[in-house]
Structure 1
């Protein structure tokens, strides 16, 4: 690629002016996200991120694409993982990328008017370079934003799973497993794995499994619950079920599930009173 230091310097000199003009014309009526913030710290951080981006884009006229991508990577990762941008709908962010692209194309026209020695072909070539670069940057940004969002969502889901099936120690070798909400096959499998591990790790010999927070259960989940109780028995842990709601009891009868071999209490209060 032809090195054009004059064009680079022209863009570089305009970077902060571009940022100020961009923010001044910004639609601040978005219902949520970084562009709607009135927090001075958020506004300043957003301007600095925009300014840093302009400085990177200026370099496309003096370095090759591979080096440009390497230099821009830190900015991409920083902004896509920025909490304020994660709260911003992606179509708002893309809208600002396109507005910024228009700024660059207008600036290119200003350059052409001031430097008439350059041919229209050269100017058009630089404009195509801007558009191509912005297209790649936007795709890259969306991919990284999606990747980080999914990674964070997975982490949150794992935390929810852990919180939704905790083993609570209530005595020297006694613990409680309170189950709340819907239990599907995936969650039932997770409960089995974590309960066995935690009971063994905490030297539990008696586990109360409370179902008062569960409103629905199917045959597959019920069988997995039985598997949990059998597996606990194999590692020396006795299980007691409590809090089976009337609707679950009715469903169990309709499904032909056999609870006769299990120790069952109507509520945790009865367990406590004993």
Structure 2
């Protein structure tokens, strides 16, 4: 380990609070609406990062990478959960290079470092900054992917509402196209709600489905067959003339499945009149 690297590292550590405050002040000016409200939470993370940069100058490469990865993943997640944007966070990178670089320069002059020694210190700092950017960014990507997935799941759950009509009878009005993910959700909700509501009859209303192809038909058959296995009489309503013609042209056989052109007819088949469900 080079003695001059130890002394530069020590000098950075001596100024870590000051350096973190400089970066905090710069970021608060640049992003007053976004970062100023969370300045108190970000300041300790900035001290940790300055400390990490200082220590990186005297650590073995494997240990440096391990510490950078650990800090980046943990701190990136914290910042993402605080709703800080990745854009704002990455705009701090040049400031670390600038402020810490000034300390390296001043101490290098004080120690009368050679050009080669000075370059070694700066290049090591620069490599560490790049590693921090990489590991810090990963949790942001993962966090926002999770948020998108949660929003998608919530929207999809709203798109498969099982509506109880009277005791033992429920309708699932399907609107829009049916893809693989939604078909799985339809099946899960149909089974869960049938058991929870103790249903005897279940109506899949397809009035809002624009087209039925062989794939959609297969998914519907799977739902109906699964419901039959738990003792629920399942039927399909909303078979429009266009859908009926498409089904015939494709050679799709609904077989034993009860089908009706309207929800009113389906409910009438099980002894309910339309007025009773208003």
TM over 0.5: yes
Which structure 2 residue ranges, 5 or more long, are not aligned? Answer: 268-273
**Residues of 2 paired with 1:191 and 1:153: CA distance?**
20
- Give the structure 2 partner of residue 127 of structure 1: 122
For the 8 Å contact 2:75–2:136, the answer to whether it is kept is no
Structure 1 residue ranges (4+ consecutive) displaced by more than 6 angstroms after TM superposition: none
Q: Name the CA distance, whole Å, in 2 between partners of 1:192 and 1:177.
A: 11
For residues 18 and 83 of structure 1, what CA distance do their matches in structure 2 show?
19
Report Cα offsets for 1:145-200 as digits up to 9, x if no partner: 22222223333333333222232222211111111111023422332233123212
Aligned positions of 1:91-170 closer than 5 A: 92-93=87-88, 96-104=91-99, 106-108=101-103, 111-112=106-107, 116-120=110-114, 121-170=116-165
Query: Separation in 2 of the partners of 1:244 and 1:118?
Result: 87
Shift of 1:23: 4.4
Scaled by the length of structure 1, what TM-score is found?
Answer: 0.77
* Deviation by residue 1:36-85 (Cα, 9 ceiling, x = unmatched): xx64xx33145446544431232132474345654565422201333242
Q: Highest relative contact order (Cα 8 Å, sep 6+), 1 or 2?
A: 2
- CA shift, 1:232, in A, is 1.6
2:270 aligned partner: none
TM-score, structure 2 normalization: 0.76
Which SS does the other structure have where 2:223 is aligned? helix
RMSD of aligned C-alpha atoms?
A: 3.0
Aligned residues: 255
Structure 1 stretch displaced more, 63-72 or 182-191: 63-72
